[in-house]
Amino acid sequence: NAGVIQTPRHKVTGKGQEATLWCEPISGHSAVFWYRQTIVQGLEFLTYFRNQAPIDDSGMPKERFSAQMPNQSHSTLKIQSTQPQDSAVYLCASSLDPGGDYTFGSGTRLLVI
């Protein structure tokens, strides 16, 4: 079991460019979560899926952020027209059961310059 895999580990984009982050959850886990982590805000919930269906995207900045889960083996978080304030570590997690322990990936460190 390789755990939750996130790619890339690091990404640098210019302001206004698009960034796509990938997450491969643990096989068999039915829920996938996206969080954003910064020094100032800590861990902020963005969105999650259960059985590939979007359940709650209340943490997503509406205009430029989108997330998808086209199949049970991966999810993507896309940020259009990136801004410096989007710089953060983006963490993906998966869980087996409702309310179960999360297993986190190592994160993607996004830097927008």
Partner 1 sequence: QQKVQQSPESLTVSEGAMASLNCTFSDGTSDNFRWYRQHSGKGLEVLVSIFSDGEKEEGRFTAHLNRASLHVSLHIREPQPSDSAVYLCAMSITSNTDKVVFGTGTRLQVSP
Which residues contact residue 2 at a Cβ distance below 8 angstroms, ignoring those fewer than 6 apart?
none
Least Å distance, CB 99 to partner 1, is 5
> Is 66 or 102 the residue whose CB approaches partner 1 more closely?
102
Distances (CA, A) of 37 to 14, 42, 71, 109: 20, 5, 25, 9
Paired tokens of 5:
């895999």
Scan residues 19-58 and list those touching partner 1 (CB under 8 A).
31, 33, 35, 42-43, 45, 48, 50, 55-56
Nearest to 95 by CA among 29, 43, 50: 29
Residue 86's φ and ψ, nearest 5 degrees, are: -80, -10
Residue 99 in the binding site for partner 1 (CB under 8 A): yes
Interface stretch with partner 1, choices 17-25, 62-70, 76-84, 105-113 (CB under 8 A)? 105-113
Site residues (CB under 8 A) for partner 1? 4, 31, 33, 35, 42-43, 45, 48, 50, 55-56, 91, 93, 95, 98-107
